[in-house]
Amino acid sequence: MTAQRGRPRSFDDQDTLEKVLDVFWKQGFIGTSLTDLCSATGLNKPSLYGAFGNKEALFLAALDRYTSHFGTPAIAALQAEPDAFTAIRSFMLVTVDKLTAKKMPAGCFIITNAAATGSTDMPEAVAAALAKASQNARIALDERLRRAVAEGQLPPDADPKPLADFIEITLAGAAALAQGGAPRDALVKAVDIALNAWPKA
C-alpha cells in the first residue's frame, strides 16, 4: 500500500463547501473575494486552493452542491407525480421551500449569480455552468408540460412554452420577494393564485 503523502487535512470538505456556498449565495461570484472565502472558512489560501482549486473552481463546486441539494429535488417532484397540475404545484412549492429555507440565504443562488453573467469579470465557465443549471429545470418543465398535453391533462391546443414561461416568471418573482424577506406562507399563497390560470383540459 502506498503511504499517503503530505499532512492529512484538518477540516471537513463538505462543511467548508457549505460555507463557500453561503458566501457566493449572499455576495455573488463577482462580489466575493478570496479573502472573503478564507474568512468564512477559517482556511488560508494554500489550504483552500489545495482542496478545491481557484475561485472559479470553488464556485463551480458550490454550484454543484446547490443543484444537488435544491435543484434536483424540485425536478424530482416535477417528474414523480402523475397528475400534471399536482406535479407543477409540487415543483413550485419545493422551489419556494428552497427560497425560504431557514439557515440559508434568502432567494435563488442561480438567479443571484446569473444576473452578472454579462460582466467581463464573470468567467465563461461560470456563466456556462449557471446557464446549464437553469436550463436543466426548464427542460424538465417543458417535458412535463408536453407530457400533460399528450396525456390529455391539458387542452390539446395548449402551448407548453408560454405556460412554462409563466411558471418561470412566477418563480423568479417569488425569488425576488424571498430575497426581500417575504415569508414562505405569502409565497405559497402567491403560487396558488398564479395556478388559478392553469388551463382546464
Q: Flag whether 178 is in a domain.
A: yes
Q: Flag whether 76 is in a domain.
A: yes
> Other C-beta atoms within 10 Å of 69: how many?
14
C-alpha cell at 57: 473552481
Q: Flag whether 57 is in a domain.
A: no
DSSP characters for 50-94? HHH-SHHHHHHHHHHHHIIIIIHHHHHHHHH-SSHHHHHHHHHHH
Q: Flag whether 132 is in a domain.
A: yes
Over the stretch 79-126, which tens digit does the pLDDT of each residue have?
A: 889 999 999 999 999 999 999 988 889 889 999 899 888 888 899 999
- Report pLDDT for 129: 95
3 pLDDT more than 90: no
4 pLDDT more than 70: no
Q: Which residues contact 167 (CB under 8 A, 6 or more apart)?
A: 88, 91, 92, 141, 194
CA–CA separation, 40 and 48 (whole Å): 11
- For residue 172, what are the CA distances in angstroms to 79, 118, 144? 21, 18, 19
Q: Flag whether 181 is in a domain.
A: yes
Q: Flag whether 115 is in a domain.
A: yes
Q: Which residues contact 9 (CB under 8 A, 6 or more apart)?
A: 47, 51
Q: What is the mean pLDDT of residues 36-49?
A: 92
> Other C-beta atoms within 10 Å of 63: how many?
22
Which CATH number goes with the domain that contains 118? 1.10.357.10
- Report pLDDT for 83: 96
Judge whether 100 and 106 are in contact, CB under 8 Å: yes
Which DSSP letter does residue 183 get? Answer: -
Structural domain count, the chain:
1
- Report pLDDT for 5: 42
Q: Flag whether 86 is in a domain.
A: yes
pTM of the model: 0.84
Range of the domain at 132: 66-197
Q: Flag whether 30 is in a domain.
A: no
